[in-house]
Amino acid sequence: MKVKMLSRNPDHYVRETKLDLQRVPRNYDPTLHPFEVPREYIRALNAAKLERVFAKPFLASLDGHRDGVNCLAKNPKSLATVLSGACDGEVKIWNLTKRKCIRTIQAHEGFVRGICTRFCGTSFFTVGDDKTVKQWKMDGPSCGEEEEPLHTILGKTVYTGIDHHWREAVFATCGQQVDIWDEQRTSPICSMTWGFDSISSVKFNPIETFLLGSCASDRNIVLYDMRQATPLKKVILDMRTNTICWNPMEAFIFTAANEDYNLYTFDMRALDTPVMVHMDHVSAVLDVDYSPTGREFVSASFDKSIRIFPVDKSRSREVYHTKRMQHVICVKWTADSKYIMCGSDEMNIRLWKANASEKLGVLTSRERAATDYNQKLKEKFQHHPYIKRISRHRHLPKSIYSQIQEQRIMKEARRRKELNRIKHSKPGSVQMVSEKKKHVVAVVK
């Protein structure tokens, strides 16, 4: 007879002293872990609930401006430094870690229309209503020195926007036309026009650095190549585009913030249909900025809220609002992709977390593992109705909420009318136009 009994030595399973960690032997045999799926589902449900519990995105409000904040700029070399220009011509430089203003400049008379930093981070440019372009040093003046711009260029017309080239000492302004300037010269290298309307913003492409995009008040978005004297092509939309923003990861993708409450993501190579129409705002979209990962962007709207959209989704994943925040005019996503800043009408700059329920600060490895696990679970069970409902729910101010309801009714009525029209006309004579194609009027080359 050969016999072996299961006989465990307790010393192998119990810690020796109280200072040791408890021993936890593992066995991943599925029969020892029954109800794997229902338990994971419950864990996912708990994770979804906790995510909403911990969703406290608002971090700080930077106050000090004496008029509405009109433009924001990041410093490419310093995460903590932010520049803002206000409607009274004041420019402030902020330190985000201290959440304090470190410098104030009275830059222009009238609005500061645009502000941009040089790629090296040592100086910045502002344009204002007083028809000037000014270059300023990033560091403050030393003791006894006057606060003065490095250079001032006097123009003939009002400039409404400015952007700097990402690698060279070249910048572009817009107004009546798009001007491209060399930093060393007081007259533009070239100026490009297409039509006669005022251009509201101009943006350099961060990857294909010779490309520019601009949007004008005659409802078009025009693309330029800096190396040639004429514009490349333009697309005309239903309504005016306020700003555009290039995707920092995909050279040919840009997103346009439109007056018709929507954002349009375009592929530069095929402008006749946008890649995606992003709908959720209930008023004109005023500004848009991409996250440095190129997967998401944030948009600021006249409806007093900012929203975060994934690039490939037509609905927003997040909406931020407070009671005191008025019309949001400018928004920026910080370069570490963790924070969002927005400047609004009521003179404040607000700092938000990009991921509302994220824990800030250093995480221990166990915390990191737990959050990763929860994230994966939420992803796995995201389509289950209960979990979907919890993770999608957002509280909205009454004005926005009622606007959404109203617009839903309007949209439904339009759709019903279109269906009826199709039903009562000769088959094939009236076609259903998809949402993407609806808003593009024409593409001109």
Partner 1 sequence: METVPEPGSNVPPKKDRLQTKKKKPRRYWEQETTGTAAGASPGPPRKRKRNRELRPQKPKKNDTSKKFRMSKKPRELKSPRPQRSLSGAQDPFAGPAPVSVEVVQKYCRIDKSKELPHPKTKTRSRLVVAEAQEEETSVRAARSELLLTEEPGFLEGEDGEDTAKIRQADIVEAVDIASAAKHFDLNLRQFGPYRLNYSRTGRHLAFGGRRGHVAALDWVTKKLTCEINVMEAVRDIRFLHSEALLAVAQNRWLHIYDNQGIELHCVRRCDRVTRLEFLPFHFLLATASETGFLTYLDVSVGKIVAALNARAGRLSVMTQNPYNAVIHLGHSNGTVSLWSPAMKEPLVKILCHRGGVRAVAVDSTGMHMATSGLDHQLKVFDLRGTFQPLSARTLPQGAGHLAFSQRGLLAAGMGDVVNIWAGQGKASPPSLEQPYLTHRLSGHVHGLQFCPYEDVLGVGHSGGITSMLVPGAAEPNFDGLESNPYRSRKQRQEWEVKALLEKVPAELICLDPRALAEVDVISLEQAKKERAERLGYDPDARTPFQPKPKQKGRSSTASLVKRKRKVMDQEHRDKIRQSLEQQLQKQEKAKPTGARPSALDRFVR
166 binds partner 1 per the rule CB under 8 A: no
Stretch that binds partner 1, among 2-10, 71-79, 131-139, 355-363 (CB under 8 A): 2-10
Residue in 16, 29, 145, 146 binding partner 1, rule: CB under 8 A: 29
Closer Cβ to partner 1, 18 or 156, answer by number:
18
Indicate whether 30 belongs to the interface with partner 1 (CB under 8 A): yes
Give whichever of 40 and 67 is closer to partner 1, judged by the CB atom: 40
Query: Residue 154 CB: number of other CB atoms within 10 A?
Result: 9
Q: Does 19 bind partner 1 (CB under 8 A)?
A: no
Contact 440, 274 (CB under 8 A): yes
Give the number of residues in contact with partner 1, rule: CB under 8 A. Answer: 40
When binding is defined by CB under 8 A, the residue of 158, 239, 249, 422 that contacts partner 1 is 422
Among residues 19, 20, 25, 398, which is the contact residue for partner 1, using CB under 8 A? 25
Is 4 a binding residue for partner 1 by CB under 8 A? The answer is yes
Give the pairing type, strands 58-63 and 69-75. Answer: unpaired
Nearer to partner 1, 36 or 146 (CB): 36
From the CB of 68, what's the least distance to partner 1, in Å? 42
Pick the closer one to partner 1 by CB: 189 or 270: 270
Helix, coil or strand: residue 326:
coil
CB 179 within 8 A of CB 191: yes
Q: What gap in Å lies between CA 426 and CA 422, rounded to an integer?
A: 8
Per-residue binding letters, 44-73, with partner 1 (x by CB under 8 A): --x---------------------------
Alpha carbon distance 283, 321 (integer Å)? 14
388 near partner 1, judged by CB under 8 A:
no
CA dihedral over 345, 321, 71, 440, signed as positive or negative: negative
Is 34 a residue that touches partner 1 (CB under 8 A)? yes
Which one among 41, 119, 166, 210 touches partner 1, defined by CB under 8 A? 41
Residue 32 is classified by DSSP as G
**What's the rounded Cα separation, in Å, for the pair 415 and 405?**
15
Give me the least distance between CB of 358 and partner 1, in Å please. Answer: 22
| Residue closer to partner 1, measured from CB, 324 or 408 | 408
Q: What is d(CA 97, CA 80) in angstroms, rounded to the nearest whole number? A: 6
- DSSP conformational letter for 322: -
Q: Find the shortest distance in angstroms from Cβ 145 to partner 1.
A: 60
The whole-angstrom separation of Cα 290 and Cα 279 is: 17
Q: Tell me: does residue 8 bind partner 1 (CB under 8 A).
A: yes
Q: Counting contacts by CB under 8 A, is residue 33 touching partner 1?
A: yes
Round to whole Å and give the CA distance between 343 and 346: 8
The full DSSP string for 128-182 is ETTSEEEEEESSPP-TT-----SEEEE-SS---EEEE-SSSSEEEEESSSEEEEE
Instruction: Give the interface segment with partner 1, choosing from 9-17, 266-274, 327-335, 355-363 (CB under 8 A).
Output: 9-17
3-class DSSP state of 360:
coil
1 vs 143, beta carbon nearer partner 1? 1
Where does this chain bind partner 1 (CB under 8 A)?
A: 1-8, 10, 12-14, 22-43, 46, 380, 384, 419, 422, 432
